[in-house]
Structure 1
Amino acid sequence: MQVPDAVYHLMRHTELKSCDLSGNVITKIPPKFAVKFSLISELNLSNNQMARLPDELCTLACLQRLDISHNSFVSLPPIAAQCPSLHTVLAHHNQIIEVDVDRLARSRALEYVDLSDNPIPPRIHEQLKQLSRPSVSVSEREPEEWEDLIG
């Protein structure tokens, strides 16, 4: 359910570049993860039970690829637009309804964000489709039943 403290001790002299914690029941990543593994460039947290990431992950200067797909996120974490080297974010198959589109557009490094299979609201969905950079993948919206009533 979490990264054991022993991992930090055992790997204290290891320069971790890639980390795959997918397919567990992890609910949170501790803030010290970013401090202990500051050189990480690929982080796979897919297929877990996470709903948020610690703000400290924004300090990962080398992080280029983040996979948080198949989790329980309701908003795209700020790290998506704040990490200086992060160019790919996979966040498909979550419960994301909140995305800071302006922040995504201002990101210098971000190239691709996969938000497919999320219940993104119509207004945000349209804003994401208008972005020229980064490239954002979203699923085609299925109109809600109630939307027919107001049309």
Structure 2
Amino acid sequence: MDQNQQELHPLYPKCEEARSTGILDLKMKELTAIPQAVFRFMACAEADVKECDISDNKLICLQPQLPLTFHNLTFLNLAHNWLSSLPAEIGDLRALEVLDFSHNLFYTMPGIVYQLPHLTVLYAHCNCISEFDLTKPIATDRLDLVDLRNNRLSHSFIRKLLKTKRTFRLELDDDESDSN
């Protein structure tokens, strides 16, 4: 960004802060997309962003540029948006440990989450998920928690899910039990 753009763009202070802290906080900005100016500035600044919070916005889709620009993310909060899918490039976030896409419009578990080798916590509660592929191998052996509360999981799917061998804690609705 040139000097005039920096002074005029309302997210410039957030980008400056991220450059020094490694935390990009874009929550509650009523964003329908991440502005290109954010990507340009952060790329030029060579900022090493480790955490990104884009919660409480109006995102319908997540641009593939996010994981390409912030490839060292360990924490990504996408909660409280209108997302129903994640770009395949999320799989390039090899260091990602915490992914929160709760309170969105997902109907199934995004296949890309199976490919994240350092994922430890997955928040997927309050979506529309009814079922997902239980046979797909999970790339991480670090997974500690998967939160699926307040989804549309059928009783038959829950029974299958609870019978599946797993090493992580599974959060389900109160009337369902985690037998792990």
- TM-score category, normalised to shorter length: 0.7 to 0.9
1:66-106 deviation line (CA, Å, top 9, x unaligned): 00000000001112221011111000000001222222666
Deviation at 1:7, TM superposition (A): 0.6
Contact kept in structure 1, 2:33 and 2:61, CA below 8 Å: yes
Higher alpha-carbon deviation: 115-124 or 40-49: 115-124
Aligned-residue offset at 1:49: 0.4
Larger Rg: 2
Residues 113 and 135, structure 1, Cα contact 8 Å, conserved in 2? yes
Segments of 5+ residues of structure 2 without an aligned counterpart are 1-31
- Answering whether residue 168 of structure 2 is matched by residue 137 of structure 1, we say no
> Given the alignment, which residue of 43, 51, 57 partners 1:24?
57
Using the alignment, how far apart are the partners of 2:146 and 2:121 within structure 1? 6
Structure 1: segments with no counterpart, 5+ residues: 143-151
CA contact (8 A) 1:28 1:52 kept: yes
Residue 140 of structure 1 and its aligned partner are, at CA, apart by: 4.5
Residues 73 and 93, structure 2, Cα contact 8 Å, conserved in 1: yes
CA RMSD of aligned residues (A): 1.7
CA distance in 1, matches of 2:172, 2:137: 14
- Say if 2:38 is the partner of 1:4: no
**Aligned counterparts, 1:1-151, within 5 A:** 1-12=32-43, 13-103=46-136, 107-131=140-164, 132-140=166-174
Q: How many residues align?
A: 142
The structure whose RCO (Cα within 8 Å, separation 6+) is larger is 1
**1:104, 1:134 within 8 Å by CA — same for their partners in 2?**
no
Q: TM-score, normalised by structure 2?
A: 0.73
Question: Does the Cα contact within 8 Å between 1:98 and 1:120 map onto a contact in 2?
Answer: yes
Distance 1:121 1:107, change over 3 A: farther
Evaluate the alpha carbon distance shift between residue 17 and residue 63 of structure 1 in structure 2; reply closer, same or farther with a 3 A threshold.
same
Alignment match, 1:145: none
SS of 2:52's equivalent in the other structure is: strand
The percent of aligned pairs where both chains have the same amino acid is 31
